[in-house]
């Protein structure tokens, strides 16, 4: 009786342990602007759910002090228009806000791994300031987490 109880408890523990998903995080992001390619080695994602709507914010900092912030709503692998609160800030502090009609993000993988979001995908961003614009193309990110 004790042996069968012990085996049953061990089986339950092993099944529970095998349910945890394991993933290796590469946490990279890159894009092209003009003829230059930029790479962010430490991107992150913040996910907030409010009133049933999931808001995602991907941040790609650069060593120069520039950064890209991409905001979108949703949790499924598909293409989304970026919210107009998305922006690119250059190393001089100039901010270019994204156009929700021309800036998109294609989520190819949206996973929750042990309650931690892990996102992969591609993007194109066109941002505007009062006096000029920037266009970031061929954007991609792989296994970005918080």
Reported as a single tens digit per residue, the pLDDT across 45-64 is 999 989 999 999 999 999 99
Share of the chain above pLDDT 90, in %: 69
Residue 134 neighbours by CB distance under 10 Å = 18
Going by C-alpha positions, the residue among 51, 49, 54, 103 that lies closest to residue 75 is 54
Cβ(90)–Cβ(69) below 8 Å: no
Q: Which residue has the higher pLDDT, 146 or 130?
A: 130
No. of helices (H) and no. of strands (E), the chain? 1, 11
Pairing of strands 79-81, 104-113: antiparallel
Give the pLDDT confidence of 2-19 residue by residue, as tens digits.
Answer: 555 544 444 444 444 334
């Amino acid at each position: 009786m004790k042996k069968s109880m012990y085996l049953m408890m061990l089986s339950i523990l092993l099944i529970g342990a095998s349910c945890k998903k394991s993933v290796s995080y590469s946490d990279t992001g890159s894009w092209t602007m003009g003829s230059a390619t930029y790479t962010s080695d430490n991107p992150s994602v913040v996910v907030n759910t409010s009133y049933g709507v999931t808001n995602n914010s991907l941040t790609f900092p650069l060593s120069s002090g520039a950064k890209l912030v991409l905001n979108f709503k949703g949790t499924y692998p598909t293409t989304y228009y970026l919210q107009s609160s998305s922006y690119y800030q250059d190393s001089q502090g100039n901010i270019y806000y994204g156009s929700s009609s021309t800036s998109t993000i294609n989520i190819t993988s949206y996973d929750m791994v042990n309650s931690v979001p892990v996102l992969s995908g591609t993007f194109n961003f066109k941002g505007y300031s009062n006096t000029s614009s920037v266009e970031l193309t061929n954007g991609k990110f792989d296994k970005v987490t918080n």
